[in-house]
Amino acid sequence: MTTLIVVGAQWGDEGKGKVVDVLASQAQVVARYAGGNNAGHTLVLGARKIVTHLVPSGCAYPGTACVLGAGMVIDMDVFQSEVAELQRAGMLLGDELRVSLDAHVILPFHRQLDGLREDQASGGAGRIGTTRRGIGPAYEAKAARRGVRVRDLLDPSRLRVRLEQNKQHVDFELQRHGVAAIDVDAIVRAAEGWAAWLRGKVCDVGALVEAAVRAGQRVLCEGAQGALLDLDHGTYPYVTSSTTLAGGACAGLGIGPTRVDAVWGITKAYTTRVGAGPFPTCERGPLGELLRSAGDEYGATTGRPRDCGWLDLPALRHAARLNGLTGLCVTKLDVLAALPSVQVCRRYADGAEPGEVLLEDVVAEYEPVPGWGDPQLRERIAVARRLEDLPSPARAYLDAIEATVGVPITLVSVGPDRAQTILTRAAFG
Ligand code: GDP
Ligand code: IMO
Ligand code: MG
Q: Which ligand is nearest to the CA of 15?
A: 1
pLDDT at 375: 82
Ligand 2 contact via 235 beta carbon (within 6 Å):
no
Ligand 1 contact via 42 beta carbon (within 6 Å):
yes
Contacts of 373 (CB under 8 A, 6+ apart): 339, 340, 341, 342
Give the Å distance between the CA of 17 and the centre of ligand 2.
14
Annotation says 41 is catalytic: yes
* Superfamily name with CATH number, domain 104-197: Adenylosuccinate Synthetase, subunit A, domain 2 (1.10.300.10)
- For a pocket test of ligand 1, which of 18, 244, 412, 414 has the largest count of ligand atoms closer than 8 A to its C-beta? 18
3.90.950.20, 3.40.440.10, 3.90.1150.10, 3.20.20.105: CATH of 3-101+200-262: 3.40.440.10
Annotation says 169 is catalytic: no
User: Which of 395, 398, 391, 397 is closest to 376 using CA atoms?
Assistant: 391
pLDDT at 123: 62
Indicate the SS3 state at residue 397.
helix
Ligand 1 contact via 223 beta carbon (within 6 Å):
no
- Beta bridge pairs of residue 282: 309
The full set of domain ranges for the chain reads 3-101+200-262, 104-197, 267-423
Same fold, 3-101+200-262 and 267-423: no
- 248 and 242 in contact (C-beta within 8 Å)? yes
- 281 and 346 in contact (C-beta within 8 Å)? no
The fold for domain 267-423 equals: Adenylosuccinate Synthetase; Chain A, domain 3 (3.90.170)
Q: Whose CA is nearest to atom 12 of ligand 1?
A: 15
Q: Which ligand is nearest to the CA of 331?
A: 1
304 phi and psi, to 5 degrees? -70, 145
Alpha-carbon distances, residue 156 vs 76, 150, 193, 204, 314 (angstroms):
16, 11, 11, 20, 50
Distance CA 425, CA 328 (A): 10
Distance CA 4, CA 203 (A): 22
Reported as a single tens digit per residue, the pLDDT across 232-271 is 999 999 999 999 999 999 999 999 999 999 999 999 999 9
pLDDT in tens, the chain (429 residues): 699 999 999 999 999 999 999 999 999 999 999 999 999 999 999 999 999 999 999 999 999 999 999 999 999 999 999 999 999 999 999 999 999 999 999 999 999 999 999 998 866 667 999 999 999 999 999 999 999 999 999 999 999 999 999 999 999 999 999 999 999 999 999 999 999 999 999 999 999 999 999 999 999 999 999 999 999 999 999 999 999 999 999 999 999 999 999 999 999 999 999 999 999 999 999 999 999 999 999 998 889 999 999 999 999 999 999 999 999 999 999 999 999 899 999 999 999 999 999 999 999 999 999 989 888 999 999 999 999 999 999 999 999 999 999 999 999 999 999 999 999 999 997
Ion ligand 3 contact residues with beta carbon within 5 A: 13, 40, 300
- 74 and 102 in contact (C-beta within 8 Å)? no
